[in-house]
Amino acid sequence: MKFFTCFFVLLITFPFLSFSQRNIDAIVDTVETPEGPAILYKNFTWEYLQDEPVMLSQEDDSTGLFTVQWVNDQIFAYRLKPDSIRDTVINLNNNGRIFTLPVYGKLFRGFMYTHKGLDIKLDKGDTIKAAFDGVVRYARYNRGGFGNLIILRHYNGLETYYAHLSKMLIKVNQVVKSGDPIALGGSTGRSRGPHLHFEVRYKDIPLDPLRMIDYDNQKLISNVLPVTKKVFYPNDYDVNAVIVKIKKGDTIGKLAKKYHTSVKEICAMNKIKPNTTLRIGRSIRVR
Ligand SMILES: [Zn+2]
C-alpha cells in the first residue's frame, strides 16, 4: 500500500516538475479546450494545464492538515479564538521545501490594521507563483473585494492568499509546488489597478509577510517563524500590533509621523476620531 502511494505521488508530481521548469514568465494566456484548459506560451507553444486535479485522500494526510478545517467555499477556515491558538514555531523550510516570491514588483502598500497583506504592483497577465508547496484550498471569485482569489494551504501550516487575479490557472484541491504558476495578475474585485494583494495567515490570523520575507532579495529572512501569544493581539488577531503609552505632548498626528503610519490608520485601529483628546498614561495602538 505504501509503495503504491509513493509510486502514485511520483507519477502525479512528475508533470508538475516539468511544468515548473518552463520559462514561467512567458505565459500569454490560458484557453478552454475540449480536452481541458491549455496554457499558451509566448513562443507559440502550448500545453494542457494538467490532467485531473490531484485529490488528497484521508490516507495521504496523516496530520489532517488537508482534511480537517478544509473548506473550499469560505475564505476563513478555522474561525478560532486567538486564545485557543498555542505558541508555535513554524518551520518555513520544512524538508527543504523552498520559498518563491509570488511576483516581484513595486511594493506600494504594506501590512496595516486596515490592510492585511502586501500590495505588489504588476502588469495585467503577469504570472503569479505559489509561495510554498501546498494544496489549493480556495480558488474562485470573491465578492468581498478580493476579486478572483486563490488560497493555498502549505505543509508548514501557513495559508497564503492571492487576490485581484485576472485568471486562475489551478483548481481547488490541486497540489502545487513552490514556484508553480497559479494565476495571472489583474485588477478584479476592489482594486484600482493591476496588483497582487498577498496575505500570509496562520489559522486565519494575518501576519505581516515582511516578518518572514526579505523582499528585495526575494527570499526568506529565516527558516523559522515564531508565532507566540505575544504576537497575537487579542482584540483583532493582529500579530503586529505596537502599543505605546501616551506621553505629554503626543497627538495622533505626531504618533502617526513617528510610527510611519497615518492619522486615519491610528483612528481606525483604536476606534477613535481624529479630534479625540489623548489621555496621558493611556495606551494607544500605533501600528
Ligand atoms: Zn491589498
Distance 242 CA to ligand 1 centre (A): 21
Q: How far is the CA of 90 from the centre of ligand 1 (A)?
A: 24
Q: How many A from CA of 18 to the centre of ligand 1?
A: 32
Please count the other Cβ atoms lying within 10 Å of the Cβ belonging to residue 79.
Answer: 10
Q: What percent of the chain is predicted at pLDDT more than 70?
A: 71
Task: State in Å: Cα 119 to ligand 1 middle.
Answer: 5
Query: How far apart are the CA of 146 and the centre of ligand 1, in A?
Result: 8
Rounded distance from Cα 117 to ligand 1 centre (Å): 6
Cα 191 to ligand 1 centroid, rounded to whole Å: 8
User: Cell 514555531 sits at which residue?
Assistant: 89
Mean pLDDT of 155-179: 95
Amino acid in position 171: K
Query: Is there a contact between 128 and 121 (Cβ–Cβ < 8 Å)?
Result: no
Q: pLDDT tens digits for 35-58?
A: 665 666 666 666 665 533 344 444
- In CATH terms, 82-226 corresponds, of 3.40.50.410, 3.40.50.620, 3.40.50.2300, 2.70.70.10, to 2.70.70.10
Cα separations (Å) of 63 from 124, 201, 205? 38, 19, 20
Check residues 161 and 17 and name the one with the higher pLDDT: 161
- Better pLDDT: 127 or 52: 127
> Which CATH number is associated with domain 243-285?
3.10.350.10
Minimum mean pLDDT range among 96-110, 116-130, 186-200 = 96-110
Q: How does pLDDT run across 107-121, given as a tens digit for each residue?
A: 999 887 778 899 999
**Residue-wise pLDDT tens digits, 204-213:** 888 889 888 9
CA 244 to ligand 1 center in whole angstroms: 26
Give the predicted TM-score (pTM) of the model: 0.67
Instruction: Locate the domains of the chain by residue range.
Output: 2-48, 82-226, 243-285
Ranges 3-7, 112-116, 157-161, 272-276: which has the least confidence: 3-7
Q: How many Å lie between the centroid of ligand 1 and the Cα of residue 48?
A: 31
Distance 177 CA to ligand 1 centre (A): 24
Q: Using pLDDT thresholds of 50, 70 and 90, give the confidence band for residue 82.
A: low
**Confidence tier at 269 by pLDDT (50, 70, 90):** confident
